[in-house]
Amino acid sequence: MRSVSATLFTRRFAAFQHEVHREPVQVTSHSRVVGYFVAPEEYAEYKALREKARKNLVVRQLPDETVNALEEARMDSRHAHLNALMQDYARMPPSILDSVRPF
């Protein structure tokens, strides 16, 4: 990825408009990164990935009715066999859990 100063970026913006289709351009000011210039297709892909990203929820920020619904929710009996897997997972030592966590 090419890194350019903000001054050069503004002076040669037209050239960077073409270059950005080959690779993103990192823009710096006083030796600090202030942004990235990317092709519209890459930005669209970034936005799509952000939409699919896991969302973390803090229970205390949820409405009471949502918390109550979660507390009352029960797993369908067709999935009862998965309880054994969760019990096995709960018995694993923390050192092993660190290597198998999917997140």
Indicate whether 102 belongs to any domain.
no
Q: What total number of domains does the chain contain?
A: 1
Which three-class secondary structure state does DSSP give residue 17? helix
- Smallest Cα–Cα separation from 88: which of 77, 96, 76, 79? 96
pLDDT higher than 50, residue 51: yes
Residue-wise pLDDT tens digits, 22-43: 999 999 999 999 999 999 999 9
Containing structural domain, residue 55: 1-91
Instruction: Using a cut of 0.75, tell me whether the model's pTM lies above it.
Output: no
Indicate whether 49 belongs to any domain.
yes
Indicate whether 98 belongs to any domain.
no
Report the chain's mean pLDDT, rounded to a whole number.
Answer: 85
Indicate whether 101 belongs to any domain.
no
Alpha-carbon span 10 to 16, nearest angstrom: 9
CATH number of 55's domain: 3.40.1620.10
Indicate whether 87 belongs to any domain.
yes
Indicate whether 55 belongs to any domain.
yes
Indicate whether 29 belongs to any domain.
yes
Residue count (the chain):
103
Residue-wise pLDDT tens digits, 62-71: 899 988 898 8
